[in-house]
Amino acid sequence: MNDIFRKVGKARFLGPAVIVVVALVLISNLAYAYTTSNLKVLSIQEDRFYNYDCDDAEVIIEDFEWGSDGTSLGVEPPLGAVDWTVTKFGYGTASAKIDTSQHHQGTRSAEFYSNYNGWDINAWVLASYPEYRPQWRRFWARTSGVSGITTTGWVTATGDGQHFLSVRVQLGGRLQYRQDSYWWHDTNPVFKIRPNRWYFIEFRNIDWEAATYSIYVDGNRVQDGVPMVPGTDWHGLDYNGITSYATDDTYDAGGGSFWIDDIPVVGGPPSSTGVTCPATMVFDTNAQTSKVKDVIYWGTASPLFATTDYALLNDGDGWIWDGDRGTKKAYNIYIPEIEDWVDVYVHLRVYAPDSTDYMSNSEWGKYVIGTTHFDEGSILELWYGFNEDAENFFAGYANAKGLTISEDIIYFNNYENRVELIIHPIWGIPTYYYWFNDGYATVVNVP
Amino acid sequence: VRNWKTRATVIVMIAALALLGGVVASSPSQGEPVESFAPGPPEAPVVVGNTTGGGQGVSDFTLTEEEKATALHIIESDAHVGEIFKGVDWHVKLIGPITEGLQKIGVAAIIKFDGAIWMEDTFSPYYPSGYSYVAKLWVRNMFVYVDLRDSKIVGLTPNMGRAPITSSITSPITSEEHAAAAEISLGHPLARALGENVQAYLTAVYYTDDYPQGIVLFNVRSEQGEAMVAIDLDKMVVVEQYTTSVESLER
């Protein structure tokens, strides 16, 4: 590598002179950009980008993009399959099916349609999955805007076979929760759900011992301390899963739909215990994930070595899921914390919606978000992390390829400085994550 | 915008000073206090994005001086560590907290040796599963994990290092195996792509559930570059999954 690479990659450790140079570069760049942003991130740690587990196959996104009909809702192979059972209680043409007219991302979602006036006229699906006592359930939901129609969409989840967490959209478009076997309650204050709009609804802060949880909508807490509903069987949801259905319980002949989409059915909660890869890079100006990978691309050593990871992003146009295996390569590299050369795999993942391959705002132009880390370089991959050093590495690499960089210029409030013991999502054994990040992301200008 | 610029300038200067302090603090010196992981979060003046609440979201898992001292004492007095480190110079370069969820449960220490040393041992890197593997390898640095709740070492992870050009270490595999595996590694396309005078250095042998007879890793290198070639000692074939070219930054 050339001198520029070395300076960037090791700037903090080359001495005061280099530090001063870097500081001046930062100041000069700050003068023209990055003052504000509408970029919104989801996490209980506020403005931290939340990224799901590094190297994981842990999170399976049920996006309904796979499966051929209403009885075969499925997730993208080969990650696995969610066992969705489609049941139709109702009369007339009540249905649960894949719909291509409404979708949060991709091209399809699950639609529950009810058109009969009476109680318990439902079309519904049930998914079971193995995560016991999850700390987080989330999904996207949308209701139809048919005038005069009050078909209600319900989503209910459980995680221990003894309690249920439920929300529904009730008459007048109010989000309600159930806190006992019979009665629904408005949130306080009442949260209005508008038709024909996707909402990101979460059950967070789930305390299985106290049997309480919080409800969030689009990242905002709308109700705390919601009691779970005790019970061991809810329409067949007898152990662990999530169910959703439409019903018309207002005797107005129904005729409306309720959609759900993009349900991570296995995964960690949005907390520091679940975060593994902080966002450390922003490729801006005219970036696309494909362009970034044209510059920094080695493929991946094998499927084992680079599994898909996921990020959740929002720049004002709604929540965006994206998955990426990233690009990964073996390097013998100097790690400042160890003060030594170590065999590692350098690993970069980049995220942007599939539909456009980039996000955009007035300040950054077209941009994508990147996460960086090192994996231990033997066959065992005994640890990973050192995100800040990996950020420096990739910034230097991009710079050596002729791209302009501004190191550590955007503050993402994702500082960490510890070793986190996690369960490796593939091998199921404890793994150490060297979670080092200074809280700032480096910008790479992609023309 | 002007106010923001002024603030940002000040902030960057503060950050630069903090970095400068980090440079000074990171200078290694045997006999000085062991450096902890970085002292704290940076200034956070420019929050990008709309927050969903207050607070900085920064966790504080700082080790106390007593915890550091306890961990170092445990490392220094551990019989297994003493056996592994016997006769070699080693230094604790960095020490910091291990967390599980939001609980601080122990201490991770980064150990560096004076040069590459040869290790043969059973390592249990993972706490507390009991998982272990046998490895014979060159090591320049390793990680040690201390559980402060039980006051004991719960994990050792040696990091595979470069073999020295010359060594008096007897190969951990038979001479026949060594010769055959080295020949195979040098015949791999990644090795042949390195041009003339390519050498194969045995770096590590791991014995795992997948490779009970061992998988040997050769560092093959020439002036043109290097690669890692993995060979299954049972079948004496290249394991492509773990075979890769290795880039190395200019030292």
ipTM: 0.75
Give the gap in angstroms from C-alpha B147 to the nearest C-alpha of chain A.
12
At a CB cut-off of 8 Å and minimum separation 6, what does A58 contact? Answer: A52, A266, A267, A268, A425
| Closest to B58 (Cα-Cα) out of A409, A275, A413 | A413
E strand or H helix at A280, and its extent?
strand A279-286
**pLDDT of the residue at A374:** 93
B208/B210 Cα distance (integer angstroms): 5
Residues of chain A with pLDDT under 70: 1-62, 66-93, 115-135, 145-152, 160-161, 170-172, 181-182, 232-241, 247-255, 264-276, 297-305, 307-321, 413, 423-430
The strand pairing partners of B200, in sequence order, are: B220
Contact present, A144 and A258 (Cβ < 8 Å)? yes
DSSP state of A281: E
* Tokens coding A186: 């408005």
pLDDT digits over A66-97, tens only? 654 444 444 333 333 455 666 665 566 677 77
pLDDT digits over B107-121, tens only? 999 999 988 999 999
What backbone phi and psi angles, to 5 degrees, belong to B7?
Answer: -65, -45
Contact present, A227 and A96 (Cβ < 8 Å)? no
Instruction: Kindly report the average pLDDT of chain B as a whole number.
Output: 76
pLDDT at B241 over 80: yes
pLDDT digits over B4-63, tens only? 233 333 333 333 333 333 322 232 233 345 565 544 433 332 233 222 222 233 345 788
**pLDDT of the residue at A116:** 61
| A-chain residue closest to B40, CA distance | A417
Q: Which of A381, A387, A419, A436 to mutate to test the interface with B (most CBs of B within 10 A)?
A: A419
Residue contact A343–B246, C-beta within 8 A: yes
**pLDDT of the residue at B251:** 43
**pLDDT of the residue at B163:** 86
Instruction: Give the up-direction half-sphere exposure of residue B178: CA atoms within 13 A in the CB hemisphere.
Output: 11
Picking from B49, B112, B140, the nearest residue to A39 by CB comes out as: B49
What backbone phi and psi angles, to 5 degrees, belong to B19?
Answer: -65, -40
| Planar angle of CA A255, A256, A259, nearest 5 degrees | 145
Residue contact B112–A1, C-beta within 8 A: no
Residues of B in contact with A302 (CB under 8 A): 240-241
The one-letter code for the residue type at B137 is L
| Closest to A408 (Cα-Cα) out of B94, B18, B240, B134 | B18
pLDDT at B184 over 60: yes
* Tokens coding A147: 């005038």
pLDDT at B189 over 90: yes
**pLDDT of the residue at B205:** 97
Spacing of C-alpha B108 from chain mean position? 11
At a CB cut-off of 8 Å and minimum separation 6, what does A368 contact? Answer: A282, A283, A287, A288, A289, A292, A350, A351, A352, A357, A358, A359
Could you write out the three-class secondary structure of B45-109?
A: CCCCCECCCCCCCCCCCCCCHHHHHHHHHHHHHCHHHHHHCCCCCEEEEEEEEEEECCEEEEEEE
Give the gap in angstroms from C-alpha A114 to the nearest C-alpha of chain B.
35
If you write DSSP's letter for every residue of A304-369 in order, what string do you get? TTS--EEEEEESSS-EEEEEE--EEEEEEEEETTTTEEEEEEEEEEEE--TTTSSEEETTTEEEEE
B136/B133 Cα distance (integer angstroms): 10
